[in-house]
Amino acid sequence: MRPPALPFPAAERAIQRLWSESRLRFPARAASGAVVELVHPGQWNRLGGPDFLGTELLVDGRRVRGDTEVHLRSADWRAHGHHRDKAYANVVLHAVLMGEAAPVRTCAGDAPETLVLLPLLPEDLESAAEHDALAELRGRAAEIVRLVAEANPVLDRDLRARARERFAAKVALLARRIEADGWEATCHRATVEALGQGANRAAMASLALRLGVQGFAASDAGDLYLGEIGRWNLRGQRPMAHPHRRLGLYIELCRARPDWVSRVRRDLPHLARGHASRQGLLHGALGGLLPPGLADTLATDVWLPMGGAALEAAWMDWPAGHRPDGVEEARQRLGAGLPRRNWCVQGILHALGRGGKG
C-alpha cells in the first residue's frame, strides 16, 4: 500500500489513533523475525515521552510489557534523540509507518522490536487520517467549514475532484482485499467492519474474521456483543448506531437473505449499466432489511467500490447515508447549493483527511 502525500503530523497522529483503538491487523512479523501480537495498546500519551505507555504484546508467544513509540520512519528514532533519552528506556516496540525496519537501541542498550505498520492498516491512510480528523474536530463544525472552504475555492468542482480521488482509493484498497481473500469473504468482512463506523471497526472486524455469513445467521446479537465487551467505544453513540443494534440487523439480514452477498454481486454490473436502481439493490438484494440510511452508507463505503471504476458515476450521485454530525452540519453551512449527495460528503471527508490541504 503506497502512502499518499499527507502532512506528516496528520499521518503520524492518524496511525497513533489506529494503534490506540487496536485497529491494526495482527499478528505481524517484526524486523527481527519474531511474531508479534497485540494484547493491549497501552495508554496514549499526548505529553512528553513514548507515545504509548504500558503496551502489552506477545512476542513469539512470550508476554512483553513496556512502552511503544510510533514514527513515520525508523531513522526518526535517532533523529529525535530517543537513543540517548532515559524517558524511552522502557520502549519495547518501535512502530514505524513505512520504509526499512532498521533496528534501534535505547539508552540502556536494549533493542526494541521494530514493526512496519503500513501492511497492517485496516484502511488506506487517507481514510485513517479522515477518521482521526473527525475525532479531533468532533463538535467543531465551524472549524471543519473553515478548513474545507480555505482548501476548495471552487466548492462544487473541487469537492467532486476530491470525491473521485477517494473513490479510486477505495476501489484500489478493496481490490487488494479481493485478491487476497476472494470477493464474497471481502464483501462480508468489509460490510461488518463498516457497521462499526470508526471506533468500533476493530471489534467488528474481529467478529467478521471468526464468523462468516452462516456463522452470523446462527448467532445471537447479545452473545456476540458480550464476547467483545471492553472493546466497544460507546462515547457519543446514538441508539440507532449502537453496536448491539447493528449486530442484530446484520444477523437478521444473514438469516433472511443467506445469499445476500451473491445478490449484491449480481446487481452491481446492472447498476453500472443503468439497468438497476438503488431501490432494486436495497429492496431486492437486501430485502429492505436494513434501514435506508445505513444501507446507503454500506453501499458507498463497500459495495459500490467493490464493483470497480465502472460504478464511479453511481457512487458519486448516491445518497450520502449516515455521516458524522459535524460533516453534515459543515455541508449545510458551506452553502445551500451543496446537495446531500455522496460526492459532496466524500469531498469534505477527503479534505479533512488531508488536514484541509489539496
Q: 213 and 112, same structural domain?
A: no
Residue 42 domain-assigned? Answer: yes
Pairing of strands 52-59, 62-71: antiparallel
Q: 230 and 101, same structural domain?
A: no
Q: 237 and 149, same structural domain?
A: yes
Rounded to a whole number of angstroms, the CA Rg of the chain reads: 21
Asked if residues 140 and 329 have their Cβ atoms less than 8 Å apart, the reply is no
Q: Phi and psi dihedrals of 56, rounded to 5?
A: -120, 130
Q: 286 and 205, same structural domain?
A: yes
Domain total of the chain: 2
Residue 7 domain-assigned? Answer: no
Distance CA 219, CA 188 (A): 15
Q: Which amino acid is at 295?
A: A
Residue 353 domain-assigned? Answer: no
Q: 253 and 159, same structural domain?
A: yes
Asked if residues 97 and 3 have their Cβ atoms less than 8 Å apart, the reply is yes
Pairing of strands 35-40, 43-44: unpaired
Distance CA 133, CA 126 (A): 10
Distance CA 211, CA 11 (A): 32
Q: Which domain holds residue 303?
A: 125-317
Q: Which of 80, 51, 84, 76 is nearest to 66 (CA)?
A: 51
How many other C-beta atoms lie within 10 A of the C-beta of residue 180? 9
Which position has the grid cell 473521485?
Answer: 164
Residue 329 domain-assigned? Answer: no
- Is residue 252 packed enough to be buried (19+ CB in 10 Å), middle (13-18) or exposed (0-12)? middle
User: Among the three residues 66, 101, 120, which one is the final residue of a domain in this structure?
Assistant: 120
Distance CA 25, CA 74 (A): 20
CA–centroid distance for 161 within its chain: 21
Q: Which of 58, 59, 54, 83 is nearest to 71 (CA)?
A: 83
Q: pLDDT below 50 — which residues of the chain?
A: 1-8, 355-358
Which position has the grid cell 453501499?
Answer: 299
Residue 327 domain-assigned? Answer: no
Alpha-carbon distances of 221 from 66, 106, 145, 233, 252, rounded to whole Å:
35, 46, 38, 17, 10
Instruction: Tell me the per-residue pLDDT of 181-194, one tens digit each, with 9 for 90 and over.
Output: 999 999 999 999 99
Alpha-carbon distances of 215 from 178, 224, 328, rounded to whole Å:
20, 11, 35
User: Among the three residues 57, 91, 120, which one is the final residue of a domain in this structure?
Assistant: 120
Residue 109 domain-assigned? Answer: yes
227 Rama sector, left if φ>0, alpha if ψ -120 to 50, beta otherwise: alpha
pLDDT for position 7? 41
Q: 139 and 94, same structural domain?
A: no
Distance CA 68, CA 87 (A): 12
* Residue-wise DSSP of 270-314: HHHTTSS-HHIIIIIISTT-S-HHHHHHHIIIIIHHHT-GGGHHH
Q: 84 and 175, same structural domain?
A: no
User: Among the three residues 120, 137, 155, which one is the final residue of a domain in this structure?
Assistant: 120
Torsion angle (degrees, nearest 10) of CA 227, 230, 236, 239: 20
Residue 259 domain-assigned? Answer: yes
Q: 55 and 90, same structural domain?
A: yes
In the chain, what is the straight-line distance between the N-terminal and C-terminal CA atoms, in Å? 20
pLDDT for position 246? 96
Residue 260 domain-assigned? Answer: yes
Instruction: Tell me the per-residue pLDDT of 302-331, one tens digit each, with 9 for 90 and over.
Output: 999 999 999 999 999 999 888 776 777 777
Q: 182 and 65, same structural domain?
A: no
pTM higher than 0.85: no
Which position has the grid cell 463497500?
Answer: 302
Q: 203 and 90, same structural domain?
A: no
Q: 163 and 46, same structural domain?
A: no
Q: 184 and 62, same structural domain?
A: no
pLDDT for position 316? 95
* Residue-wise DSSP of 173-239: HHHHHHHHH-HHHHHHHHHHHHHTTTTTHHHHHHHHHH--HHHHHTS-HHHHHHHTTTS---TT--G
